[in-house]
Amino acid sequence: MVKWTLVTGATGFVGGEWTLRALLRGEYVAALVRPGREQAVGVHLRELADVHGTQVPSLDKLVVVPWTPGSEFSTLQLLRQSGVDHISCVIHAAADMTYSLSKLPNSLDNNLGMALGLYRAIAEHAPEAKKFIAVSTAYPCGLNPAADIPETLHLTPKLVNGYQTSKWATEMALTELARAGGPALTILRPSIVVGEGERGFYTGKCFGFYMFLRGFALAKKAGAKKMRVAINPAAEINLLPIDQLLLLIDRIREKGAPGFVHATLDNGVRVGDMMEVIGKIYGFPIEEGKPRSIPEHLFDRQVAANMAFANTTFKFNNHSAKALVPERDWVDMNPQSFERVVRQSKALYFQKARFEKSDLAMLPQLLPNPVRKVLRKISRLK
């Protein structure tokens, strides 16, 4: 009997990287995607293989089926008709990563709705599935973290953006739903996921930590000779290489780990050390301070949504990950690995970075108030 792993987010970062490796190992994978995105999975996998310098995996053991929240039962029927008759595990990695609180209802529809609908459908119509891994984030703990953030539900967190809030709500609801029965639920909480530890390759979107790197790239293109950044150099950012996260996912598939698992390392990278490396590679010194120049203000606006997290040191209890992964494979990111990640980002963002309309729309807001008033008067002239 063929055992399939059901995965969501196969056109994204975590889901795509896991799917590539699974197919190269010869595993059977069923991917759920948004309607109209069926062909995008194969395209994405070929792009990933090219980036990593690996062979393009055979797609003979891949089944791709369209899925929208609310259509889970018909989606499972379609999977059965496609030959996926035994789902052993679900990896739910798809996510709406919108930060804006004004779009929170949409984030809840996507993140909460997708997770609950999929778990309920698996519990009712695919009883052979024994494990359900929901990829969340380490930050539903909020911006008021304890000294040793526990692997449990966070009841009174300080939530500041739509992504964080929708993930927190999803964790609460999934935990309650799983109590009624269904596959063993693991809520996996990765910290800031970056490129590979050995080569630094990153194939995700410009999100989280990479928003900072793109911001520095655009500041350089805007003529910055040095950068003042309103950031705490003593803070630590918990960066997790993608290969370590994928290893942990596979260990959970093999051994099981119901409950909460922090995919986090013992120690983060000091922000001051990060700025020194980034400045060396991007070609300008970076120091702590309030932004003054237009490139500095442009950078500040680019990363505003993440600045509070960058200035906060989070210390996570990660006993579950350490129990699953050999100690030699669960090590803090070292300076060499971090430098490789940044160098790869320079090739990805600095050499290809372009100012988007949203970037240019910020520029008038960065002008001194008297100049902005004059421009507003001119714009009202007929």
Residues 216, 133 share a domain: no
Domain boundaries, position 78 = 4-194+239-263
Question: 168 and 154 in contact (C-beta within 8 Å)?
Answer: yes
Q: Give the tens place of pLDDT for each residue, 171-214.
A: 999 999 999 999 999 999 999 999 988 888 888 777 888 889 88
Q: Is residue 319 part of a domain?
A: no
- Proportion of the chain above pLDDT 70, given as a percent: 91
Burial class (CB in 10 A: 0-12, 13-18, 19+), 156: exposed
Residues 108, 9 share a domain: yes
Residues 243, 230 share a domain: no
Residues 215, 148 share a domain: no
pLDDT winner (highest mean) among 190-194, 292-296, 355-359: 190-194
- Proportion of the chain above pLDDT 90, given as a percent: 69
Query: Helix, strand, coil proportions of the chain in percent (round to 5)?
Result: 50, 15, 35
Q: Is residue 172 part of a domain?
A: yes
Burial class (CB in 10 A: 0-12, 13-18, 19+), 59: middle
Residues 340, 219 share a domain: yes
Q: DSSP letters along 219-237, please?
A: HHHTT-SSEEE---TT-EE
d(CA 270, CA 28): 41
Tokens at residue 25, please? Answer: 């190992």
Residues 183, 289 share a domain: no
Length of the chain: 382
Buried b (16+ CB within 10 A) or exposed e, 136-152: bbbbbbbeebeeebebe
pTM, two decimals, is 0.91
* Span of 97-111, 201-215, 326-340, 342-356 with lowest mean pLDDT: 342-356
Question: 139 and 238 in contact (C-beta within 8 Å)?
Answer: no
Residues 169, 57 share a domain: yes
**What pairs with residue 184 in β-bridges?**
131
Residues 213, 111 share a domain: no
CATH number reported for the structural domain that contains residue 166 in this entry = 3.40.50.720
d(CA 18, CA 183): 21
Q: Is residue 368 part of a domain?
A: no
d(CA 72, CA 66): 10
Q: How many CA atoms lie within 13 A of 136 on its CB side?
A: 32
Q: Which residue has the tokens 């060499």?
A: 336
Q: How many CA atoms lie within 13 A of 244 on its CB side?
A: 32
The total of structural domains in the chain comes to: 2
Tokens at residue 372, please? Answer: 């902005």
Q: Give the tens place of pLDDT for each residue, 130-163.
A: 999 999 999 999 987 777 999 999 999 999 999 9
Q: Give the tens place of pLDDT for each residue, 88-133.
A: 999 999 999 999 999 999 999 999 999 999 999 999 999 999 999 9
Rounded alpha-carbon distances, angstroms, from residue 95 to 21, 48, 109, 111: 20, 19, 11, 6
